[in-house]
Amino acid sequence: MKPKLSRIIAGTMTWGSWGKNLDSKGMVSMMETCLNEQITTFDHADIYGGHTTEEDFGRAFGQSGIERNTIQLISKCGIKYLSEKRDYNIKHYDYSAEYIIWSVENSLKNLQTDYLDVVLLHRPSPLMHTEEIAEAIDKLKHQGKIRSFGLSNFTPSQTQLIQREIAVDFNQIQFSATHHEPMTDGSLDFMQLNGITPMCWNPLGTIFREKNDQTERLNVLLNNLSSKYQVATDTILLAWIVQHPSGILPVIGTTSPQRIKNATQALTLKLDLEDWFKIWTESMGTKVP
């Protein structure tokens, strides 16, 4: 059965050495801040922090006193990433049954838990053998080590390839007001047709990170909408995403308590139809087709 995840997901990629470098106390505080805002799902990948963030999170979780059944843990596997923790010659992908099982078991140890609510294949590999992937996932499910299976950054055809052998519950893709192609390239349509729940990473896009024609157009509009709806611009950007009928679950990477609060406000903000299309229009720089 597909687990019920929180409507907003906390991404942990920048909690560790790839970002804020939070200590155990800081991570516990972040978990509690998220839970206070009804964000109960935490998104990981084995490679985050150069293979260190899961262990740091797990140590903090073990100290937190938070009950395991009150949260959901996602992790991703398959990327062999060069770091001090791994002796590889080149970054590459490995979806052998042996490696998938080892990676999940290692994540369980690091996160100090006996199961993952969701495991995702992190990125597609041209050398994937679907039968071998299915063998590993079936074994992990049977052992109770994972409860659900999904993908990350997979196209519709790559997803169909996996679906020949095993059911796919989730696909985590890049999607935002500045990266809206999944609405028109068939990605979100395919997920709706196949009962796959979309998650999206980088849901705020490049609005706060880049200055170009697209972001300047959007910022003018977002400032006006912020005044109209009396909410922050990041709330509007997330509301634009959750209004899509496919039920996208945004994975937010912020460690700011205020931005976490802003994110959850998006769940109760309904943009006027014309305002929703204004955001898409300003992003494209042209009227809708």
pLDDT digits (tens, 9 = 90+) for 241-255: 999 999 999 999 999
| Total tally of structural domains belonging to the chain | 1
Residue 38 lies in a domain: yes
Confidence of residue 240 (pLDDT cuts 50, 70, 90): very high
Q: Answer whether residue 1 shows pLDDT above 90.
A: no
Residue 166 to residues 131, 148, 160, 172, Cα–Cα distance (Å): 9, 11, 10, 17
Separation between Cα atoms, residue 54 and residue 16, nearest integer Å: 9
The active-site residue out of 48, 93, 95, 99 is 48
Each residue's pLDDT tens digit, 90-145 = 999 999 999 999 999 999 999 999 999 999 999 999 999 999 999 999 999 999 99
Residue 83 lies in a domain: yes
The pTM for the full model equals 0.97
Residue 169 lies in a domain: yes
Residue 102 lies in a domain: yes
Tell me if residue 48 is catalytic.
Answer: yes
Residue 211 lies in a domain: no
Separation between Cα atoms, residue 44 and residue 120, nearest integer Å: 10
Report CA 113 to chain centroid distance, whole Å: 20
Residue in the structure block whose two tokens are 């706060």? 208
Residue 150 to residues 4, 97, 283, Cα–Cα distance (Å): 14, 15, 29
Q: Are strands 79-80 and 92-93 parallel, antiparallel or unpaired?
A: antiparallel
CATH of the domain at 128: 3.20.20.100
Residue 196 lies in a domain: no
Residue 280 lies in a domain: no
Hey, what are 70's tokens?
């009150």
Residue 161 lies in a domain: yes
Q: Residue 107 belongs to what domain range? A: 9-174
